[in-house]
Copies of this chain bind each other. A is one copy, B any other.
């Protein structure tokens, strides 16, 4: 059993973990392990609305300064009456490389806006303010795809509060400085500048290996429950501190929908995310439907679950929307004009 916090990020604590030292989880989970040289990650979400990603973007992603990994997904259940987003997420482990890439392609990306919306949501958290969790040690997703590999079984999971305890900064930092959203409007271009450290979660599932009863349970019980939770966050999330939520289906290399999906949401703070996760009926329903399946499978579950979470400081964020639907991303959380 190892700690989710690698030795090089271990700090003299001023804040205690949620569980005592003798805590032992009831089942194994793993985290992504990055090279010790990595100090900052870049997670860049690039969205296009009501259209497909233009092919030049694939060339841009192949630029020598391009990301170490990216994937593409499409909105599973877009805003009623709103356009469906197609979202490319790209990951860098060197912010200087990202800066060059971004300087080269940001303008072109947003200039494509017009009949279709284009948006950019980027965070560049330090590794101290980032954490992951995976149920299996294979098939990395998201930021884990640019990591060196997986840890062994880690201790900080299987209880409410594990997410915070896995994040190295939580050893000394309450990670709680919520603030308003400032807005800069320039015609159809809108920059949103949060004054607080937003929390981003990408939480995904891969049911491509699930068969038989497990597959039926996922599709008939879990997925509808998950969808209700995603729709609650999309439509009413502001009441619980969720500024934006998207529920997306991954696309394979040739653009077909894969049997993998993820939700990604922006939160006022990690504490707000914790409260929804731990107490809201929409998430407790998701949690117990997964739990019942896991218990029934007795450790032979083929369904793969993972998440990545980060808390980015205001200066580590970039939110920009061009010709977008008024409920796109953080725009949905702005006070009425």
Contact = CB atoms under 8 A, between A and B. Distances in A.
B284 A284 contact: yes
A105 interface: no
A23 B275 CA distance: 10
Given A22-B178, A284-B288, A278 B16 contact: no
Contacts of A288: 281, 284, 288
A292 to B, nearest CB: 8
Interface stretch (A89-97, A134-142, A153-161): A153-161
Interface residues of A, number: 26
A18 interface: yes
Nearest to A292: B281
A279 B20 contact: no
Contacts of A158: 279
Contacts of A278: 159-160, 278
Contacts of A16: 15-16, 174
B161 A271 contact: no
Chain B CB within 10 A, most for which of A20, A274, A284, A291 = A20
Contacts of A176: 20, 22
A19 interface: yes
Contacts of A20: 174, 176, 269, 271
B269 A281 contact: no
Interface in A249-306: 269, 271, 274-275, 278-279, 281, 284, 288, 291-292, 295
12 contacts: A16-B16, A18-B161, A19-B271, A20-B176, A20-B269, A23-B271, A158-B279, A159-B275, A159-B278, A160-B278, A281-B291, A281-B295
